[in-house]
Chains A and B, each alone.
Chain A
């Protein structure tokens, strides 16, 4: 089912992105091998110019990844009308085994790319570009991941086949019709709710603590990463139920729909920004001892930690508001 506008667009985007990264890989390799900021040789000049191209290119690729992630989810939701049993994006992603892995791979690529951009930003602030080598080694490490995400996406789309009318519709019903499961598995509400608020409090607290004391950068990253996982579990387990006011509708995607007034964006925007910022604090921490970065890294990490703390608090507030505002009673007593 390749001939769908959004699928063509997504495949085009991932093809161009992977293509750009593959083409730039030899340049990155060159930079890793020959970079020497103290040299005034012609080669060094050429390399320095190339770093501009590469960082522009990567910003472009990663920005595209972000938009593609959104389009991927929208598209999954739109296509749900074409599969028996699929009510929303969960059903569409369950059509074959590559659906959810493709989505998860894209989310992972998105967070890693965000971290790369944070490191890039810190590096360009310093006068001697101390992290150039590390940056491009990380870039080469990211390339296979991007490739995996693209291949998973391609396999997913190639495996889709819409359930359309056949000349004899009866045969569709007399045999065991292979409907897809439209529901996501979810954990029990009460324990998840406790874990949810504990994780959010830890993530926001770690961010705040870093802002005040400039200590515990790795904890900010660790708690943010953990909070992302727990928050997703929480959305699946009970936040979505409160939004839908339905005790069995565990769906992380329907909240983005107009039927629910796009409430999902209020949840997901702080969630993704908070996670990316929190992880970024940890990503630049190893470089705080580099002489030219001793001032830059803590200052930028402080900004990121503040952003993470604000976003986590906002996320908790939005989720709590949605729960309190709901007419659903999930926990009695």
Chain B
């Protein structure tokens, strides 16, 4: 065993010095290789961080949301609905929610108006999200007026601005008092936008939803798990599409690697010839070439991955943002928490090192079977 390790050590030593002797050629390969790893790793790190963040945000969401449908469209919950809900077993807590959208022609953006169920906002005041406050130039104590859908003008004073830490979910958020909300949108007392249900036992969620669907045929229950699953699929799908497009780049890279590996210079050929003349076997040359590939791959993988990490988590993935993030006027500015996943590293390995290895197999063999006499003659 020790002899085997020693042999590999000498081979690696030799390979390193032979790589150093042909700097220009190997540097070109290394740069292209690093670039490929960087590209794919950025996509993967970015989508994974987004997925993680989405799951994190939804952690606090209610298990089930019940919406009422009229002619296939989302409608208000009429009075008495909440009381009829009371008898479903397994539902720990239920509350009617009031929220809606408001289009502000000043900044040409949609706001989300919402009545918080905990910590009610005093009448006549607002709590606004940080991105919105920036867009309208608001500070605490300022007065802002909105023209309601009925044409009446309503004035509010800003009581508080939400912390920028929560910007991913609160960029366009406006919190207000229940009475103000009902006056502004002209919603009669007893009506709600939808109903949030919390279910203590996760295994009961589907049963509760089934009962809801039977008891209220005009409603649709939306489960938190379902939202999560949909996000997951969407992000995976986007990542997959980008990777499928990038597979062309991988193919080009494989051809490039094949070319590099098979285009042996006369000097390299002579070197292999001499090695074989002094007693190296074909198998040894293949091993040497294997170590060469492994070292280059490892270096490119580490460089590419570190660069991608910096790109995604320190420059907010400026190259991919337009494709992968989505778009809005009041776009939240947020920094993704760094997440690294072993599974993703393994997948990335398959996308980069595997094609490289497959492409260089035959050229390596061609180089290794070189006859000593034919090159030294």
Contact = CB atoms under 8 A, between A and B. Distances in A.
B361 A3 contact: no
Among A56, A68, A163, A168, residue most surrounded by chain B Cβ atoms (within 10 Å)? A56
Which of A52, A68, A165, A173 lies at the interface centre, i.e. has the most chain B CB atoms within 10 A of its CB? A173
Interface in A160-212: 162-165, 168-170, 172-174, 177, 179
Size category, B interface: 35 or more
A168 B350 CA distance: 39
A102 to B, nearest CB: 17
Given A56-B365, A163-B229, A174-B214, A12 B239 contact: no
A70 B350 CA distance: 12
A170 B213 contact: yes
Interface of B: prevailing SS: helix
A64 interface: yes
A52 B369 contact: yes
B286 interface: yes
Given A52-B283, A60-B361, A5 B347 contact: yes
Contact of B346 (A7, A56, A74, A81): A74
Interface of B: 44, 69, 72, 206, 209-210, 212-214, 217, 219-223, 226-230, 232-233, 236-237, 239-241, 243-244, 247, 282-283, 286, 343-344, 346-347, 349-351, 354-355, 357-358, 361-362, 364-365, 368-369
A172 B283 CA distance: 60
Contacts of A13: 350, 354
Contacts of B346: 67, 70-71, 74
B226 to A, nearest CB: 5
B230 A49 contact: no
A78 interface: yes
A326 interface: no
The 8 closest A-B pairs by CB, nearest first: A3-B240, A9-B350, A170-B220, A173-B213, A53-B365, A164-B230, A162-B233, A173-B210
A9 B220 contact: no
Q: Which of A5, A68, A172 has the most CB of B within 10 A?
A: A5
A57 interface: yes
Nearest to A7: B240
Contacts of A56: 286, 361, 364-365
A328 interface: no
B356 to A, nearest CB: 12
Nearest to A163: B229
Nearest to B341: A78
B282 A81 contact: no
A1 to B, nearest CB: 8
Given A162-B232, A163-B226, 19 more contacts: A5-B236, A5-B344, A9-B354, A12-B351, A12-B355, A16-B355, A20-B358, A52-B282, A56-B361, A60-B361, A67-B350, A68-B350, A71-B346, A82-B229, A82-B232, A165-B230, A169-B220, A170-B219, A173-B221
B213 A174 contact: yes
A179 B205 CA distance: 13
Contacts of A71: 343, 346-347, 350
Contacts of B214: 174
Given A8-B244, A173-B206, A173-B210, A168 B365 contact: no
A170 B349 CA distance: 42
A8 B243 contact: yes
A151 interface: no
B229 A169 contact: no
Given A5-B347, A8-B247, A82-B233, A165 B226 contact: yes
Contacts of B209: 173
Contacts of A9: 347, 350-351, 354
A16 B358 CA distance: 8
A162 B237 CA distance: 11
B209 to A, nearest CB: 5
B236 A4 contact: yes
A13 B24 CA distance: 31
Contact of B240 (A5, A12, A170): A5
Nearest to A12: B350
